[in-house]
Structures are given as C-alpha cells and as structure tokens.
Amino acid sequence: MAPWWLYALSMALVWGCVASSSYHATVAPPQDLRITDPGLLGSLDIEWKPPPNVQMFNECTVKYKFEYRNTGDRDWKVIFTRKLKCRVGFDLSKTAEVRVQTLLEGRCTDDVEVQSDWIYATFQVPLQGKLESEVQNFHCIYHDWEYLKCTWQPGLLAPHGVHYGLYYWYEGLGHAAQCDDYIQDHGINIGCMLQNLTQAEYKDLSICVNGSVAATLLRPLYVTLRLHNLAKPSPPKQLVVSMSASEELHVAWSPPGGETPPQCLEYEVQLAEDQGETKAAWASMSTQMETTLTISRANQSRISCVRVRGRTNIFCADRGFWSEWTQECFSVSRKEDKQLFILIPVILSLSSSLIIFMLIGQCKKRSPAGKPLHESVGC
C-alpha cells in the first residue's frame, strides 16, 4: 500500500495543475469604453483601453471583438481588431449600442481562444421635432457605379415652404459636404444627384437629410449606406439570338455600359414559352458572369421570345438592383414553323403548275380542229 504522503503529494500536484490551467484560462475585459460624436453625420468614434493584466500574456495574441448596432436591430455587426478604437456608422435617430470583449490565444492558453466578459456603452443625440416631420420614402440607387440618385418625400407634418438639404460624408473627406445638384418639385428639394463617389465604394457613406422652415423644428433623417449594395446596372447590350445547324439556340450579349465592373455581374435570361391563345409564360435561367447561353433542341421547341437583365453578383455585394430588361424581345421560330415555312413554297409551286396545266387543257378544248393553238381566241 502506498504511503499516505505519496497520495497527498499526488493530489497537491493535480490541484496545482488545475489552478494553473484556471489561471491561464481567464482574461479581463477592456476598460473605459467611450463613444464620441465627431460631427460626421452618424459616424461615431468608439475607444477603449486594454485590460489591466494584459502585460502578463507575452506569449499570447491579444485582440478584440467589437460589435455594434442601433436599438431595435436584430443582429450585431462584428469587427475583429487589435486596435483600441473604431469609427463606424449609426442611425443617429436611434440609440447606438456597442460592446467589446478581449480575445486571448497562444501558448499561454494552449492555443485555445479565451474570451473575456463583454463591456457595453450606448449613445443618443438629443432629438428635435416630431417623428412625423422627418422626410418619408427615402430611397437611393447607385446607377452604373457612376452616380448616386437619392429621392424622398416631405414629412407628413412638414409645413409649406420647407427647404431640405442633403449632407454626406465618407472616410477620406475632411468634413461633411452638401449636395450641389438637387431634384425639385414645385420649388421643393425632393432628391439629390451625387457624382464622383468612387472613393466611397466599399465604405460607410453617412447621409443626413435635414429640413428647415421658420419657427418650426423638423426631425433630420440619418442613414448609413454602402454603394455596392445599391448598384443598378443598365440593361445588357447587343443581344443576339441564333440557331445552330444542330438546332441549338444560342443567346449572346455584351455587358452594360458605365463603370459597372464586368466581373461583378450576374445575369438572368428569360424565355417565353408559347401557350397558344393564352398569355406567354416566362421561364428563367441564370448565369454568373458568362454572357452566353446555349439551349438544347429538346428545351427550345416552344420558345417564342428571349430577353436578358443583370445585377451585381454575390462576389461584389450583399444585394443589388436588377437592371431593366433588354428593350428588344427577339422572337425565335419553332421547328414546326420552320417546316411550315419550307412547305409553303413547295405547295405554291405545285398549285401554280396545276393551274397552268388546267388552263392549257381548257385552251385545247376550245381550239377548232386543224388550227394551231396559238390562234385560239382568248388564250
């Protein structure tokens, strides 16, 4: 039987290992989380300090998981960083919420990621005016990756003679800028055209639409946009439909004009199927970046029309707007139509020959005996 002191020593070693593992498996959260507004239309600066015991983990990598959202949003947006600050966009008409935690991984944790608790902070600007005074139906489209067109309607409580202004900012601009090309309706600004936004692509574009009128406070609208998610290309060009010798249908087109990157486009091809006297039913087929499509003989016997449209694909955007359909709708002859087209000249030729022979026969019957045929009256 082992001595009692050997058993005690073994238990002490086990507890020591457990305590050591427990010690290395904890890390404190960041400190002093703060949110400040630099006056950039919803882009807020978030800063924090490292945890107090970070110097103890020289053999590990220390980074931070930063999450943010507006109150009411279901999902958090996530950023992983080794920095101690971030600048992100919010809708300032709602409360901004942020949270940060420390992530520790390396030899000091046996290469297992250790997470701290979260720390939280919120930010809210003082709101002015009633909610119903805010502009309605704000909508933006990035046409051909060349210009942004935003439109809106006056708020329900907006008084007569209100003046609206659109202001915008993105990383790289020294300060917020105002739109200089407004769309008007009866003298009221209801939209804006923004050009030269290439530097804003794949960045947060902060926009504020504010209204002003004498002696009345109107609530401003704040939005944060991503241009690549608002892109709408022009329709594809040079649509050509042809039939091969093996009666395969070939559809080809060119990418649209403008600055839309060709590698960022996907296409939808629609084929109209002839339903007789009823309205044609469209069947869709998709392609990724390819600008050609071949339809086998078995699948095109009832096709009567072809059209194509495009949009930004999943490799360049989370979403996008479909272009309009190609303007021309190219009709495709069916096999039965082609056979009928071949038979019609043959039938006409045979009918003409038969009529001629019948006329000649009638002329022979009417000719007197012994007289040549060319002297017959009426022939």
Q: What is the pLDDT of residues 320-358, one digit of tens each?
A: 899 999 876 666 655 444 444 444 455 566 666 676 667
- The answer to whether residues 151 and 192 belong to one domain is yes
Cα separation, 142 vs 256, in Å, equals: 14
Comparing 197 with 26, which gets the higher pLDDT? 197
Helix (H) or strand (E) holding 339: helix 335-366
- The answer to whether residues 291 and 212 belong to one domain is no
- The answer to whether residues 242 and 301 belong to one domain is yes
- The answer to whether residues 117 and 168 belong to one domain is no
**DSSP symbol at 376:** -
Among 4-8, 142-146, 173-177, name the one with the lowest average pLDDT.
4-8
Comparing 358 with 377, which gets the higher pLDDT? 358
Domain count, the chain: 4
pLDDT at 288: 75
**Contact in structure between 326 and 236 (CB atoms under 8 Å):** yes
pTM over 0.85: no
pLDDT at 137: 96
Q: What rounded mean pLDDT belongs to the chain?
A: 82
Give the CATH number of the domain where residue 204 resides: 2.60.40.10
**117 pLDDT more than 60:** yes
Query: Domain residues for 118?
Result: 32-48+58-126
Domain boundary among 105, 126, 147: 126
**How distant, in Å, are the alpha carbons of 93, 165, 166, 174 from that of 207?**
12, 10, 7, 15
Angle, alpha carbons 329-333-337 (nearest 5°): 145
Residues 6+ apart with CB under 8 A from 137: 151, 152, 153
- The answer to whether residues 196 and 208 belong to one domain is yes
Residues 6+ apart with CB under 8 A from 329: 272, 305, 306, 307
